[in-house]
Amino acid sequence: MNKDETARNNIQAKKNQPDFRLVLMLSSRCYIAFLVNSITRSLAIALASSADA
């Protein structure tokens, strides 16, 4: 590989980087939202069952 090819590969890698970061950010947001949702649901179920007792 000569210098031109390595420079071209570096440019392509830099172009692809924000895409991966965006996908990671979106997936982590979805995962956090899912965690919060499941935690609040289990809390609500626990509160409802303790209120019934």
- Token pair, residue 9, equals 């590969």
Dist. CA 1–CA 17, nearest whole Å: 22
Task: Please report, for the chain, the start and end positions of each structural domain, with discontinuous segments joined by +.
Answer: 24-53
Residues whose CB falls within 8 Å of the CB of residue 9, separated by 6 or more in sequence, listed in order = 1
Per-residue model confidence as pLDDT tens digits over 1-53: 677 777 777 666 666 566 788 888 999 999 999 999 999 999 999 999 987 76
The pTM of the whole model exceeds 0.75: no
CA distance 20 to 1: 26
